Structure formats: C-alpha cells, structure tokens
Amino acid sequence: MSSTPSALEVLRLKDFRWFFLSRSVNIVGSMMTPVTIAFAVLHIDNSAESLGVVLAAQLGANVLCLLFGGVIADRLPRRAVMQACYLAMAAVQVTMAIGLDFGWATVPLMVVLAALSGGVSAFSMPAQQGLIPQLVPKSQLQQADSLMAFVRNGATFIGPVIGTTLVVVTGPALALAIDGCAFMVAAVMLAKVALPEKIAGPSTSILTELRDGWGEFTSRTWLWVVVAVFGVLNVIHVGAWVVIGPVIAKNNDAVGIQGWGFVVGSEAVGMLVMSVILLRWRLKRPLRAGMVGMACFAIPVLLLGIHPATVPLMVVAFVSGMGSQTFSTGWTVAMMERIPSEVLSRVSSYDMLGSFVAIPIGSLMFGWLATNVDVETVLVTAGSVYVALALLTLLVPSIRRLGRVEDEEDEIVIAA
C-alpha cells in the first residue's frame, strides 16, 4: 500500500458533499434496523425458523428485482431513483413501527414488509453504486469510498448498541420509527446533488440492456469468479451470523441480547478502524488484500460454535471487521475503476444478484439446521468452508494480480 492525499479533498466537491451528507443521515438511522428487526421477529415468535423466513422474504424480493433495478438506474437519473427508494423505505419502516407499537404485528406481516423493503433496496443499491463515479474523479474514488465507509462503520457500531438497548428498554418500534424519519431527511438532502445531463442514446429494450450488462460482467474473470464465490460466502455469513447468531445470543447467558449488540458493534469498530487506515493508505492489489481479509470472518463463526462468549467474540469480530472493510473498499474501487460508468449500475446488479441469489435459501436452511442439528457442528463446518473458499480465489491470476488503473497508466507513460 502507498499513501494517498487527505480525505478532506473529496469533500470539497459540492455534489459529493451533499451526497455524503444524505447517505450519512440515512446510514445512521438504518444501522439500527437489522438487529432491531431480528429481535422484533424473535419477540413475536422466538424461533430461528421464523427469523429465517422473514430474512428469506426480504432477500428473495431483493434478488427478484435486482436486474431491473440496474437497468432503471442506468436509464433514469440515479438521484431521482434513490430519492424515490428512500421515500418508499420510510413508508415501510413507519408501518413496521406502528404495527409493533400497537401490537398487531405478526410474522406474516413482517414477511410482507420485509419483502417490500428488499424489493425497494434492489433499485437503490445499483443507483448508488453508479452515482459515485459521476460525482468523484477516479483518483479520489478510494478516498470517497473510505470516507463513506467511515460513517457507515461508525453507525454500524453505534446502531446495534442503541438498537439492542431500545429493544430492551422500550421495544423495537422506536428504532424503526427513527429509521423511517432518517430516510425522509436523506431524500430531501439528495435534492442538492446536481448530476451531468444524460446523453440520450438509441432506444433499446430492457432485454438488450440486460444482455449488454451481462456481456460486460462475463468478460472479466476476476469479476464473475469473486461474485460466484460470494454466492456461497454470503449464504454462510447470513446463515451463521444473522440467523443463528441472535438465536444463540438470546438463549445463552454468556452472550445475551445486549452482549450480541456489542459483538456486532465490535465488528463495526474493526471496519471503522480499517476505513480510517484506508483514507490514508492506497491499496495496490485491492482484490488480493480483500479476499485475505474476508477469510478472517471464519474465525468468529468458528468461535460462535465452539465457545460463544461476549468478550472473545468481540475480539475476533473486530479482526473480521477490519478484513471485511479491506475487501469492501478494494472491491468498490476495482468496480468503479474498471467498469464503464454507463453500464456500471447493470454490472453492479449482476454482482449483487450473483452474490445474493442463494441467501434466501441459505437463511431458511440455516434456520432449519439450527433447530434440527447440533449447532456447534453446523458452525464449525460453515467456518471451515468459508475460509477455504475465500483463499482459493487467490489461485485465479486476475484476482491475485489486479492492480490500480492509475499505476497502469503511469507505466504506459513511462514506457512511452
């Protein structure tokens, strides 16, 4: 790694600054939501299978809508797409809050609302991914991503702690209401972001645009191999950590609900620390460093199965968070540097589809396994498979050797 300029430089760009503020408001509210929804479902029905069904509905709807979300984000102004999604998400979160507060929330209702949430996010995520390169020059992409990651990870640390505290003290409804308000404020702030005018191209069908995006996706070995592997890694992550983790915490005095909030928060602190490091230090081999970092997640999964206790889990979750953020920044920078802006949202949607497609089945499967099979065996097996798959990707030369576009351009200039 080599050093980069101060992160404050990217904040001098007015449009990115407003985008950053909008995302910050949104993130601070929404980071409470996953843990809050998990314990809200467990409050309604203390069952890993019920939680697995709700997560499957959310992720299943997300997967079904992702490809169309990518096409829409490449066709329409990405800012407008994100604003519409934020307002729709506000309505979903407020409905959840009202249902929980008035006592008529049920698991089927949570399934429906989770599905709506997943479907809406399928349109906002590709739009966001494609928007950043329109606001920031290539030389500052790592700074922009790391700065956003700093806020996201800080909120990820604070959010679960606040969320689990609110669950214990007042119940989950307040956290969901705050999140809904944050979405509305974020939508208003996005109005300050000005984008270049879209150049009208020849009218093409949605299927043609999907085919063009697929061609861009499959033409890069490093891209489709990592996405294929993450199709399995994310199943393990969600199944072991998001489904089984809260169940173990709620029913194990060595962890507990608040203890689990601190464990998840420690993972976020690790990500926060690494995002600060990456504000100043440049990744020269982003995918090599990223996949090694992802392999670290196997450690907390193994420990969760062998010896679930709050403090040890906090330590290994911190290390895992550092590795996860290394991959996140490396992957984002590689995508934004290597994929043309006009197809980036579509390629991102294929990335997300491949990475997420098996998660709904996996969440159901892990929910069933947690109920019918020895949990330690499930988690030890899952952790072992995870680390093996993450490190095997380094056998692919284009993953191991992928560098930065700027370095390649400098080499060409020197050679000339």
Beta 281-282 vs 2-3: how paired, if at all? antiparallel
Domains and CATH numbers, the chain: 9-194+206-415 (1.20.1250.20)
Per the document, the length of the chain is: 416
64-68, 157-161, 236-240, 322-326: least confidently modelled range: 157-161
Q: What is the mean pLDDT of residues 117-133?
A: 81
Q: What is the mean pLDDT of residues 188-203?
A: 70
Say how far apart CA 374 and CA 383 lie, in whole Å.
15
Distance of CA 5 to the CA centre of its chain: 26
Q: What is the mean pLDDT of residues 34-56?
A: 75
Q: What is the mean pLDDT of residues 31-36?
A: 71
Helix and strand element counts for the chain (H, E): 20, 2
Q: What is the mean pLDDT of residues 338-365?
A: 82
pLDDT of residue 101: 78
Q: Calculate the average pLDDT of the chain.
A: 82
Class of residue 256 by CB neighbours under 10 A (exposed 0-12, middle 13-18, buried 19+): middle
Residue 410 predicted with pLDDT over 70: no
Residue identified by tokens 């464990």 is: 263
Q: Encoding tokens for residue 299?
A: 């450690």
Backbone angles phi, psi at 150, to 5 degrees: -60, -45
Highest mean pLDDT, choosing among 42-46, 104-108, 382-386: 382-386
Between 295 and 69, the more confident residue is 295
Q: What is the mean pLDDT of residues 286-311?
A: 92
Residue 52 predicted with pLDDT over 50: yes
Q: What is the mean pLDDT of residues 286-298?
A: 94
Between 111 and 129, the more confident residue is 111
Please state, for a pLDDT cut of 90, what percent of the chain lies above it.
20
Q: Residue 103: CB partners within 8 Å, gap ≥ 6?
A: none
Q: What is the mean pLDDT of residues 112-141?
A: 82
161-165, 319-323, 340-344, 401-405: least confidently modelled range: 161-165
Q: Does residue 31 contact residue 182 with C-beta atoms inside 8 Å?
A: no
- Cβ contacts of 368-376, under 8 Å, gap ≥ 24: 368/49, 368/52, 369/239, 370/48, 370/243, 370/244, 370/247, 371/47, 371/48, 371/49, 375/244, 375/248, 375/305, 376/305, 376/306
Residue whose C-alpha is closest to residue 401's, from 411, 393, 410, 389? 393
pLDDT of residue 2: 46
Its sign, for the CA torsion 101, 102, 104, 109, is negative
Q: In terms of pTM, does the model score above 0.75?
A: no
pLDDT in tens, 346-358: 888 888 888 877 8
Does residue 193 come out as left (phi exceeding 0), alpha (psi in the -120 to 50 range) or beta? Answer: beta
Residue 370 predicted with pLDDT over 70: yes
Residue whose C-alpha is closest to residue 37's, from 162, 175, 180? 175
User: What is the DSSP code (8-state) at residue 253?
Assistant: T
pLDDT in tens, 210-242: 888 888 899 999 999 999 999 999 999 988 888
Please state, for a pLDDT cut of 70, what percent of the chain lies above it.
90
Residue whose C-alpha is closest to residue 84's, from 148, 132, 127, 33? 127
User: pLDDT-based confidence at 395, cuts 50/70/90?
Assistant: very high
Residue whose C-alpha is closest to residue 5's, from 118, 115, 144, 114? 144
pLDDT of residue 284: 87
User: pLDDT-based confidence at 156, cuts 50/70/90?
Assistant: low
Backbone angles phi, psi at 282, to 5 degrees: -95, 130
Say how far apart CA 166 and CA 265 lie, in whole Å.
15
Which residues are 281's β-sheet partners?
A: 3
Q: What is the mean pLDDT of residues 332-341?
A: 86
User: pLDDT-based confidence at 169, cuts 50/70/90?
Assistant: confident
Residue identified by tokens 């600060």 is: 276
User: pLDDT-based confidence at 3, cuts 50/70/90?
Assistant: very low
Say how far apart CA 346 and CA 356 lie, in whole Å.
15
Say how far apart CA 145 and CA 20 lie, in whole Å.
10
pLDDT of residue 219: 92
User: Between the CA of residue 265 and those of 27, 56, 98, 334, what are the distances in Å?
Assistant: 15, 24, 27, 27
User: pLDDT-based confidence at 1, cuts 50/70/90?
Assistant: very low
